[in-house]
Structure 1
Amino acid sequence: MTDVSAESPANLEQATASRSPWQGAADRAEREHWADVATAVSQTLARDVVQRDRDNTPPHAQIDLLRDSGLTELLIPASLGGRGGHWESAFEATRIIARVDASTAHLLGYHYLNQACIAFYGHDVERQNRWFRRSIDERLTWSDAFNPVDPDLSLESDGNGYRLSGFKKFATGSSVTDIVITGAPASGGPYDGNLVIIGVDSRREGVEHLDDWDNIGYRTSDSGSVRFDSVRVTDADVVGVDRGDPFSTVVTPGVQLLFGNIYLGIAQGALAQGREVTLARRGAWFLSTAERYSDDPLTQRTYGDLVSHTAAVEALADSLNRRYDKVVERGDAVTAADRADLEVAIARLKVVANDVGLDVASRIYDVTGASSTRSGLGLDLHWRNIRTHSLHDPVDYKRVEVGAHYLLGTVQPISLYT
């Protein structure tokens, strides 16, 4: 094994504002380019999204599609071989894909956030650069095994390296991506007592993917469990050390912002598909004075309600996507107050995106009729996806978080959910 002592915690003190590789904001040309790329990807996904959901097949082809499109390199700095894009473009791309295939959008969003752990937890800029270059050279895709509800993994010293053991549920994408990000408190060795963030090859000996994901929605997200059985960990696998500094903790609001964008994308997708179905409906209800369902004021009222609420969520999400870039570019200059303000703002989005997404995906049937429930149409995919993922963490706790902050100025303790 490689000796890990050369870059022990004592030698990882090179943290500066340059620790953040993301600077500035996306211009119109960048956003339009990646929106076009995401749209092309979603058009390809739309061809068989219903059948893939029905078959519950592992998303290998989807991962290849994302990789070949260039989307997986969007956030890597151009100086290191990447596309030099911004979070605003990345979040918008996931939203566009979620309109058709929320499972694949989620795989992409998690790729962004887990790959970004290179910077969030990597205090050594040289180590960051090595990881980013490797991601380009090997065309790596990223996932994680971080579910905080499960017991912590163990990282035991073993000679001049470590052994990783334990079990994690909901390891989305772990069996179809290249690198699984996880963390464990080190016992012994140069990192003794530190929470070490590591990136493990998903096919390394001792990594077992249990293939136990079979839920009503998000069926092709590969969100099954993973078991680590004395997995070898070397210095090359270490991403960094979680010191709990404000910049590193900004990754979690980023996860929640991803969820808000995906829920919004699901609502937009349900509306778009519902519109097609409504315009194709013949005649009108026998009590209506309209000639077609689309001319009926009750149909128009329902769409007016759903479209308006969705547009309001979109405006909020757009502003937060831009704001996220402004926060992360500060790197180690990010303060606890910056982080808290961002967390609460994103919690507000999570609440309304959850509510509107569920409402739209359900009420769209009111204006598409009984024939739209046929399984081959796949209109139910939107509802099943958001109903499944909206249970990731209870949205009522987000309501409490927002309300407590408004009334008392309190902020929830930092966790992998807040």
Structure 2
Amino acid sequence: MTDTVETVVDPGTAARIRTADEAITAATRLAGSFARGAAERDRDRVLPYPETDELAAGGLLAITVPVEFGGADLPPSVVAEVFRILATADPNIAQIPHSHFVYVNLLRLAADREQQQRFFTQVLSGGRIANAQSERGGKTVADIATRITQHSNGFHLDGEKFYCTGSLFADTLAVLARLDEPAGDLDIGEYIAFIPADSAGVEIVDDWTGMGQRTTGSGTIRFDGVDVRHEDLVSRAPAVSAPAGYGAFAQLLHVAIDAGIARGALTAAVEFVRTRSRPWFEAEVDRAVDDPLLVQRFGELAVSVGTAEATLAAAGRAVDATLEGTGSAADASLAVAVAKVVADRSANEVSSALFEVSGTRSAGADLGLNHFWRNARTHTLHDPVRWKYQHIGRSVLRDEDPPRHGVI
């Protein structure tokens, strides 16, 4: 076990958010707080334990719990806007609960009622879920070596995961593993094991060394003979293979993070040029903001960010429609793919252009403005956009629906 996992929010102490307006207000308030010190946390790799506690205690992590279990059941478009707002302030903090929302959605789509009651109650009380999904050793990211094996009193879980975002801050781990032999009413296939993060045989290692998203807790977790109960296993297939928008919802939140980074970088550039930049002498103006070439460039960057935000909003409505039964999962996935391409481009462009428009002094390490670019470049490596273009093109040319594999 690791001594870095902390459960700070006591059961029953988390606030309840009931409406979209309450969620947006809470996210905006927290973003204002999180923005202060974001560059320093990223530069010095100060893990945001107090900030993630605030997220949980404020009730934002429970906004998708279904109404019948006591939650607000807010739609994906609202969740995406919450993520976007948080990412404008600190993309690390915005990414930490990504898997939490994805696995709350999986519980909604694939768990039985007893499992839903148990885990949704934990979430409403401030509980946090982190992923243990990806692995380093397989031929592709889709190859899973972690195994669930049956024994006399239940099951054992063995394997090693990486990119386990949020694991340092969670009290429940959602572990993707394979069952290779039928076990009672459980068929062969992929399952998510929902286990306490402090279970015997779990080792959470803080070894994430990415150049960006440095404080997301995205390191290694090892599982050595971890006891798992039958009632903690949820088949992944019903969520991934059904036309329920599971993958589109997960991808939508990634888009929101990228769009938030783009807006945050633009806001930082505007503030720097207004308050600290000197005009280029050939412009023959007294203020940098009056340089016509800078005005032009800021106009271009504002269009880039505005387009990313508009396509994010459109994608959010498409995913909403899937859940409401008024739209198709294929249309939602394609709308999210378009938004991902646009937000990827905007986040990387604007976070780099921040230095172009601000001048040499903006490159000072003490300012930490490079965290926008490092975070953008790192986070946009999720799910390469070259394959988004492929699925969009196949739809346009051949009327092909995108695949249901959970990442589009």
TM-score > 0.5, shorter chain as reference: yes
Tell me whether 1:221 sits opposite 2:216 in the alignment.
Answer: yes
Q: Offset at 1:188?
A: 4.1
1:290 aligns with 2:280: no
- Structure 2 residue identity aligned to 1:140: G
RMSD over aligned Cα atoms: 2.1
Please tell me the residue identity of whatever aligns with 1:71: L
Quick one: distance in 2 between partners of 1:284 and 1:248? 54
For 2:383, the equivalent position in structure 1 comes to: 393
Q: Which deviates more from structure 2 when the two are superposed, residues 143-152 or residues 396-405?
A: 143-152
* Residue number in structure 2 paired with 1:21: none
1:156 is aligned to 2:156: no
Q: For 1:279, which of 274, 277, 295 is the aligned residue?
A: 274
The answer to whether structure 1 residue 379 and structure 2 residue 369 are counterparts is: yes
Identical-pair percentage: 31
For the Cα contact (< 8 Å) 1:178–1:203, is it kept in 2? yes
Moved more, 309-318 or 262-271: 309-318
Residue equivalent to 1:189? 183
For residues 381 and 414 of structure 1, what CA distance do their matches in structure 2 show?
34
How far off is 1:63 after superposition?
1.6
Return closer, same or farther for 1:241/1:93 CA change in 2, 3 Å cut-off. Answer: closer
Equivalent residues in 2 for 1:300-339, closer than 5 Å: 300-330=295-325, 338-339=328-329
**Equivalent pair of 1:58/1:176 in contact (CA under 8 Å):** no
Query: For 1:143, which of 108, 113, 130 is the aligned residue?
Result: 130
Within the candidate set 324, 330, 333, 1:340 is matched to 330
Which position in structure 1 is the counterpart of 2:359?
369
Deviation of residue 385 (structure 1)? 0.3
Q: Alignment partner of 1:417: what SS?
A: coil
**Cα distance in 2 for residues equivalent to 1:188 and 1:93:** 41
The one of 116, 122, 128 equivalent to 2:116 is 128
In the alignment, structure 1 residue 265 sits paired with structure 2 residue 253: no
Question: CA offsets per residue over residues 54-79 of structure 1, 9 Å max, x none?
Answer: 22233322220111221111111344
Alpha-carbon distance in structure 2 between the residues aligned to 1:247 and 1:63: 32
Task: Indicate conservation of the 8 Å contact 1:207/1:229, yes or no.
Answer: yes
Matched, 1:62 2:51: yes
- Give the counterpart of 1:170 among 147, 157, 163: 163
2:349 to 359, 365, 375: 359
SS in 1 for 2:145: coil
Contact 1:128 1:239 in 2 (8 A): no
Q: Measure the CA separation in 1 of the matches of 2:332 and 2:253.
A: 13
- Judge which range, 242-251 or 154-163, deviates more: 242-251
CA offsets 1:275-314 (integer angstroms, 9 cap, x no match): 1111113652111122211011111100100101211221
Deviations along 1:163-211, whole A, 9 cap, x unmatched?
1111111111112211111232323422141432221111111111121
Classify the secondary structure of the residue corresponding to 1:287. helix
Quick one: distance in 2 between partners of 1:193 and 1:56?
41
| SS of 2:148 mapped into structure 1 | strand
CA contact (8 A) 1:281 1:292 kept: no
Unaligned runs of 5+ in 2: 1-17, 135-140
**Structure 1: any 5+ residue segments left out of the alignment?**
1-28
Alignment length (residue pairs): 383
C-alpha displacement of 1:246: 4.5
**Aligned residue in 1 for 2:172:** 179
1:183 counterpart letter in structure 2: L
Change (3 A) 1:245 1:111: closer
Corresponding residue number in structure 1 for 2:340: 350
Shift of 1:151: 3.0
**CA–CA separation in structure 2 for the residues paired with 1:392 and 1:245:** 18
- CA separation in 2, counterparts of 1:38 and 1:120? 26
CA distance in 1, matches of 2:55, 2:361: 34
User: Match for 1:93 among 68, 82, 102?
Assistant: 82
Residues 85 and 260, structure 2, Cα contact 8 Å, conserved in 1? yes
For 2:284 and 2:124, how far apart are their aligned partners in 1? Answer: 61
237-246 or 59-68: which moved more? 237-246
Contact 2:115 2:231 in 1 (8 A): no
Corresponding residue for 1:415?
Answer: 405
* CA offsets 1:243-275 (integer angstroms, 9 cap, x no match): 466447622221211111111100000011111
Kindly indicate whether the alpha-carbon contact (under 8 Å) linking 2:155 and 2:227 is maintained by their aligned counterparts in 1.
Answer: yes
Change (3 A) 1:116 1:245: closer
- Shifted more, 60-69 versus 192-201: the winner is 192-201
**Equivalent residue for 1:75?**
64
Give, as a single letter, the amino acid of the residue that structure 1 aligns with 2:198. Answer: R
**In terms of mean alpha carbon deviation, does 202-211 or 148-157 score higher?**
148-157
**Cα deviation 1:96-135 (Å, max 9, x = unaligned):** 010111111011232211222111222x334323321232
Between the aligned partners of 1:294 and 1:175, the Cα distance in structure 2 is 43
* TM-score of the superposed pair, with normalisation by structure 2: 0.88
- Please list the CA deviations of residues 207-234 of structure 1 after superposition, one character each: whole Å capped at 9, or x if unmatched: 1112110111000111111111111101
CA contact (8 A) 2:89 2:264 kept: yes
Q: Give the letter for the 1:75 counterpart.
A: T
- What CA deviation, in whole Å up to 9, does each residue of 1:13-35 have, x standing for no partner? xxxxxxxxxxxxxxxx9333222
Structure 2 residue identity aligned to 1:125: R
Range with greater deviation from structure 2 (169-178 or 77-86) = 77-86
Q: Is the 8 A contact 1:121 1:248 kept in 2?
A: no
Measure the CA separation in 1 of the matches of 2:240 and 2:358.
Answer: 50
- Matched residue type, 2:63: L
SS at match of 1:172: coil
Provide the rounded CA distance (Å) in 1 between the counterparts of 2:277 and 2:400: 55
